[in-house]
Amino acid sequence: MKRKILYLDRDGIINKHIPYVGTLERFHWYYEIFTIAKYFQKKGFAIKIVTNQSGIQRGYYSWEDYTKICLHMLREFERIGIDIEIRTCPHRPETNCKCRKPKIGMFLDERHKDDIMIGDQNSDMLAAKNAGIKNRWLLSENLNSDYSTKKFLSHAKLLKYLM
């Protein structure tokens, strides 16, 4: 049986959106994400992070530095009982790879009608739409997207909606 998947963007959803977060010193949690992820895991969702990280190919930070952040994230989620998988596109936009959002390379799982994507950029919403994900939730104060199906102004408002 297909398992439902909650796809999460990283920068702006898991951590504060600062351009090119490639070191632990620049990584600052949105702590509400743990409650959100726990909620969906209890509802039977697998949790998958799908993130564009062109700072790697641009040379702003190394795979090694990026891996340290991923391990930090995995440990923190695991510590509170949440299993996550991380999928990364390290490419610059002009390389025209198949994995960089809004392309669907990080979304190649079998679709379930209840899959959800939560992101803060148009590219997140368009990637989810292109991948056939019907529930596309934009989490942003200033951005609107023609591709989203719900919009939340903050993590707190999303939590209020869930609870």
Task: Give the alpha-carbon dihedral of 7, 50, 142, 40, to 10 degrees.
Answer: 20
Catalytic-role residue among 9, 115, 120, 124: 9
7, 133 Cβ separation under 8 angstroms: yes
- Kindly tell me the sign of the dihedral angle through the C-alpha atoms of 137, 84, 63, 26: positive
* 9 carries an active-site annotation: yes
Catalytic-role residue among 11, 115, 120, 124: 11
* 11 carries an active-site annotation: yes
Backbone conformation region of residue 132, classed left if phi is above 0, alpha if psi is from -120 to 50, else beta: left
Q: Which of 76, 4, 70 is nearest to 33 (CA)?
A: 76
Active centre residues (catalytic) = 9, 11
